[in-house]
Chain A
C-alpha cells in the first residue's frame, strides 16, 4: 500500500515537473523572441540616431556661416565661395594749433573718417569692396572695386582704389603711426580709377602691382569718380621681403621696393589743372599751392624708393619721393621736380610685435583685471622741397607759399584692443620761403606750425 502511495506520488510529481519544464521552455522561447525584437528595436533606434547625426552633419556642411567678432561681421556660404563682410572705421579727432599767427578756424574736433566698408567674394574668385566715407565735409566713395583672384600671384583689380606707388600711402588708414600721413605722401597719387594686375610671389617674398589709371594729381584728399583728362597714367610698384619666410628673425621684417608712375601727356587745355590743389602740413593746412592759370602740361612722373623694417616691438618706415611734372602758365613753361622724404618709427612699450598692418594688444584693456592694452611711442621726421622754378617762373606765389617744409612729430598710441585705439601726438613744422622772399603774415607758411592731435578710433 505504501509502495502504491509512493508510486502514485512519484508519478503525479513527475507529471507536474514535466508540465512545469515545458512551461519554462515556452517562456524562454518567448523571452528569447522578445529579446530579439527588443534588440532589433534598439539597433533601429541607434541607426536612426546615427542617420540623423549624419544628416545634421551634412546640413551643417551646407549651412551658411555667420560670425561676428573683432574683424567685423562675416556671412559666408558653407563652401566659402560666397562671402559678405561688413567692416567699419570711425576716427574722431581733435587738432589744437599753437602760435599759428592768427590763422582762424583750424582748431577743433572733426570726424576724420566715418566709413562703413562692404566687402566680400562671389563665386570663390571674385572679391569686391565698396567704401563710402561720411567723414570730413563731403561724402566720398573711397574704394569701389572688383578683384579677380586667379591665384595669389595673379590678380586683376578694376575700379577705384589706391594707386600702387607710396608705401606710407598704401598702409591701411586705421594702422598709420600718426593721425595724418607725412609730407612724403603729398607727392604720391591718392585713390584713382583704373585697372591693375597684382600679386604676391612665394608667399609675399616679392609682390608687384602695375596698372593703368586716370592719372591722379599729387596727393589730393578729395578724389573723383571720373576722368579729368584723356591721357592715362601707368603706375606700378615692386616690393621685396626676401627673408619673410626664413628663420632669420632679424631680417624677416625687412621689406624694400620702389613705386613709380608715368603720365605721358597732360594737355594744358583740360578743364582740370592736373596739379595738386595744394600741399598740406601735418595739420592739413595748405602751405603751397599753384597760382590760377597754371596747368600740368606734358609728361609727369614719380619715383619712390621705400623700405620698412619690423623687429619685435620696433618698427621703422622710410620713403623718398620725387614728383616731376612739366607745367605751364600763359607765358611760361618749365619742368618742376619736387621731392620729399620721411622716416618714422615706433616702439611698442608693452612688448607686442610691431608690423606694417598694425599692433595687436596681447592683453586687451580690461580695468577689472588690470590689463591696459598696448602702448606705442612713435616719432617721425619728414621734409618736402618745392622746385625753385615754381617760384622763379611765377607758378606759385613766394609770399603765400613756402619753398620747403620740415616736420617732426612725436606721439603715443594706445591700442585698447583690436578694435579701439587712442592717439595723442604733437607735430612741429618749419617752413622756408623762396630765396629773397618772405611769406606774408596770415599765410600758413609765415610761421612754424605747432599742433597737438588726438584721436579716438573704432575699427572692425
Chain B
C-alpha cells in the first residue's frame, strides 16, 4: 500500500511538474473584446482538458489598421484576429512574420465567422433612417470611425460605396459624390469601432451609428432596446474578419501548436456557438441555424466581387491620396 501511495505521489508530482503555463497574445480589432473574452475561457478549458497545460491568453484591441501596424512594429502577437484580410496582408508583407498565402490555411478564407454593416439609430428613429439614402441627407449626423485606422470603417465605406454603385448603375462618379455627402455628415472620426460606439451611445452624438452588426446588437444588449434600434439597410457588405497565427513569433515563443489549436477551435461547434452568441454570423450550419433569428436577411456584396479584392480596394480608396483622402475634408 505504501509503495502504491509512493507511486501515486510521485506520479502526481511528475504530472504537476509537467503542466506548462503557456502564454498567448491575441491582437484583435476593436469590437471583439466580448467575443474573445468568452472564447478564451472556453479554449483554455478545452486545452487544459486535452493537454493538461494552462494557457493564459492576453487580448489586445484597437482599430484594425492600427493593430496591424503595432504588430509590424514589433508587438509580439501569437495570433492576429483582425477586421480584414488587408491588415494581415500588411503584416505578411511588411514584417514578413507570416507567409503571403496565410489566408489559405484555414477554411472560409481563414474567416471563422462573418458579419456586416448595419445602422443603429436612437429609439423611435427620429430622423426616419431606413436606408443609405437617408444618411446622406442634409442635417443627418452620422457616426463612423476613420477608415484610415479602422477595419470596420473600411467595410462601412465600401458598403456605402457598393450601395451607391448599385443605385447608380455602377457610375463611379455618382458613388464618389454619394460618399462625399456621407462623410460630410460625419462630425467626429474615431480611430476604431468601439470609439464610435462610445461617441454615439455614451456621448449622445449623432443620429445614426454605422456599426458592425455584432456591435449594434451589443449596444442593444448593454444599453437596452428602449434606447436604440437596429435598422438593416437594403444592401450591405459581407465582412469576413480573418485570423492567422504569426508564424515567426509563435516559433520564437514555442507556441506554434497551441496557437494553431486556438484558431482551429474557432471552427469547432463550441467556437461557432460562441461566435453566434456574440452576434457574429457563424459558418457552421448548426450554429447558423441556432442564431438565424439574430441576423436579418439583406443583399450582401463581397469585397472580391464588387471591388476586386482588398489589395485593389485599399489602393483605390484608402491609400494615401486615394478616394477617401480626396473626398474627406475634416
Q: List 7 tightest A-B contacts by C-beta distance, closest first.
A: A44-B187, A43-B205, A47-B203, A47-B188, A47-B199, A43-B203, A44-B188
Q: Is A24 an interface residue (CB 8 A)?
A: no
Contact between chains at B204 and A43 (CB < 8 Å): yes
- Output the nearest chain A residue to B141 by Cβ-Cβ distance: A40
A48 touches B141 (CB 8 A): no
Decide yes or no whether A46 CB sits under 8 A from chain B.
yes
- Residues of B whose CB lies within 8 Å of any CB of A are 74, 141, 187-188, 190-191, 195, 199, 203-205
Given A47-B199, A51-B195, the answer on whether A40 and B205 have CB atoms closer than 8 Å is yes
Question: Would you list 17 pairs from A and B whose C-beta atoms are within 8 A, ordered by A residue?
Answer: A40-B141, A40-B205, A43-B203, A43-B204, A43-B205, A44-B187, A44-B188, A44-B205, A46-B203, A47-B199, A47-B203, A47-B205, A51-B190, A54-B191, A54-B195, A55-B191, A81-B74
Question: Across the two chains, which residue of chain B brings its CB closest to A82?
Answer: B74
Known: A44-B205, A51-B188. 16 other contacts (CB 8 A): A40-B141, A40-B205, A43-B205, A44-B188, A46-B203, A47-B199, A47-B203, A48-B188, A50-B203, A51-B190, A51-B191, A51-B195, A54-B191, A54-B195, A55-B191, A81-B74
Tell me the minimal C-beta distance from B208 to chain A in angstroms: 13
Set of chain B residues within 8 Å of A47, measured between Cβ atoms: 188, 199, 203, 205
Residues of B contacting A55 with CB < 8 Å? 191
Residues of B within 8 A of A50 (CB): 203
Report the separation of the CA atoms of residues A43 and B205 in the bound assembly, to the nearest whole angstrom: 6
Interface centre among B188, B190, B191 (most CB of A within 10 A): B188
Instruction: State in angstroms the CA–CA spacing of A55 and B149 once bound together.
Output: 12
* Bound CA–CA A40/B187 (angstroms): 10
Query: Which residues of A23-58 are within 8 A (CB) of B?
Result: 40, 43-44, 46-48, 50-51, 54-55
Q: What residues on B are CB-neighbors of A40 within 8 Å?
A: 141, 187, 205
Q: How far is the CA of A40 from the CA of B74 in the complex (A)?
A: 40
How many Å lie between the Cα of A182 and that of B284 in the bound state? 79
Q: Smallest CB–CB gap between B127 and chain A, Å?
A: 12
Alpha-carbon distance A81/B74, docked complex (angstroms): 10
CA distance A50 to B205 in the complex (A): 13
Write the nearest CB–CB distance from A30 to chain B, whole angstroms: 15
CB distance from A134 to the nearest CB of B (A): 37
Contacts of A51 in B (CB 8 A): 188, 190-191, 195
* Shortest Cβ distance from B204 into A: residue: A43
Tell me, in angstroms, the Cα distance from A224 to B290 when the chains sit together. 77
A47 to B145: give the CA distance in the assembly, Å: 13
Residues of B near A81 (CB, < 8 A) are 74
Question: Cα distance A48–B205 when bound, in Å?
Answer: 11
Measured between beta carbons, the chain A residues less than 8 angstroms from B187 are 40, 44
**List of A residues within 8 angstroms of B141 by Cβ:** 40
Q: Which residue of A lies closest to B205 (CB)?
A: A43
Q: Once bound together, how far apart are the Cα atoms of A192 and B80, in whole Å?
A: 47
Query: Complex formed: what's the CA distance from A54 to B141 in Å?
Result: 23
Minimal beta-carbon separation of A40 from chain B (angstroms): 7
The residue on B at minimum CB distance from A81 is B74
User: How far apart are A123's CB and chain B's nearest CB, in angstroms?
Assistant: 9
- Kindly state the separation between the CA atoms of A128 and B203 in the bound complex, as whole angstroms: 50
Complex contacts, A48 vs chain B, CB 8 Å: 188
Residues of chain A within 8 A of B188, CB atoms compared: 44, 47-48, 51
The residue in chain A whose Cβ has the minimal distance to the Cβ of B206 is A40
Separation of A40 and B195 alpha carbons in the complex (Å) = 17
Q: How far is the CA of A38 from the CA of B49 in the complex (A)?
A: 58
> Closest CB-CB distance, B113 to chain A, in whole Å?
28
Q: How far is the CB of B191 from chain A (nearest CB, A)?
A: 7
Q: Which residues 288-304 in A have Cβ within 8 Å of B in the complex?
A: none
Beta-carbon nearest neighbor of A44 in chain B: B187
* Least CB distance, B73 to chain A, in whole angstroms: 8
A51 to B146, CA, bound (A): 12
Q: Which residue of A lies closest to B202 (CB)?
A: A47
Rounded to whole Å, the gap between the CB of B140 and the closest CB of chain A is 12
Write the chain B residue with the least CB distance to A42.
Answer: B205
CB distance from A236 to the nearest CB of B (A): 29
Which one of B190, B204, B205 has the greatest number of beta carbons of chain A within 10 Å? B205
For residue B297, give the distance in angstroms from its CB to the closest CB of chain A.
34
Give Cα distance in the complex from A48 to B191, angstroms: 11
Q: A52 CB to closest chain B CB, in angstroms?
A: 11
In Å, the complex CA distance between A250 and B207 comes to 71
For residue B308, give the distance in angstroms from its CB to the closest CB of chain A: 33
Q: How far is the CB of A154 from chain B (nearest CB, A)?
A: 17
Cα A50 to Cα B195 in complex, Å, equals 10
- How many Å from the CB of A80 to the closest CB on chain B? 13
Shortest C-beta distance, B164 to chain A (Å), equals: 26
Please name all residues of chain A whose beta carbon is closer than 8 Å to the beta carbon of B199 when the two chains form the complex.
47
* Alpha-carbon distance A44/B190, docked complex (angstroms): 11
A81 to B76 Cα, complex, angstroms: 12
Docked CA distance A54–B194 (Å): 13
CB neighbours (8 Å) of B190 from chain A are 51
CB-CB under 8 A from A54, the residues of chain B are 191, 195
Per-residue B-contact encoding for A72-83, CB less than 8 Å = 1, 0 else: 000000000100
What's the least CB distance linking A374 to chain B, in Å?
43
Q: How far is the CA of A48 from the CA of B204 in the complex (A)?
A: 13
- In the bound assembly, the distance between CA atoms of A40 and B186 in angstroms comes to 12
Query: Could you tell me the distance between the alpha carbons of A40 and B190 in the complex, rounded to whole angstroms?
Result: 16
Chain A neighbourhood of B191, CB < 8 A:
51, 54-55
In the complex, chain A residues whose CB is within 8 Å of the CB of B204: 43
B247 to chain A, nearest CB (A): 19
Question: For the complex, what is the distance from the CA of A51 to the CA of B143, rounded to whole Å?
Answer: 14
A238 to B310, CA, bound (A): 60
Contact with B along A55-68 (1 / 0, CB 8 A): 10000000000000
Q: How far is the CB of A58 from chain B (nearest CB, A)?
A: 9
Cα-based distance from A274 to B205 in the complex (angstroms):
82
Cα A40 to Cα B185 with chains together (Å): 13
Chain B's nearest CB lies how many Å from the CB of A157?
A: 22
Cβ distance A284 to chain B, nearest Cβ, rounded Å: 49
Instruction: Specify which chain A residues have a CB less than 8 angstroms from the CB of B205 in the assembled complex.
Output: 40, 43-44, 47
Q: What is the CA–CA distance of A50 and B204 in the complex, to the nearest angstrom?
A: 14
Q: How far is the CA of A4 from the CA of B195 in the complex (A)?
A: 70
Query: In the bound complex, what is the Cα–Cα distance between A43 and B195 (angstroms)?
Result: 14
A47 and B205 alpha carbons, distance in the complex (Å): 9
Mark contacts of A403-424 with chain B using CB atoms, 8 A cut-off: 1 yes-contact digit, 0 otherwise: 0000000000000000000000
Query: Across the two chains, which residue of chain A brings its CB closest to B187?
Result: A44
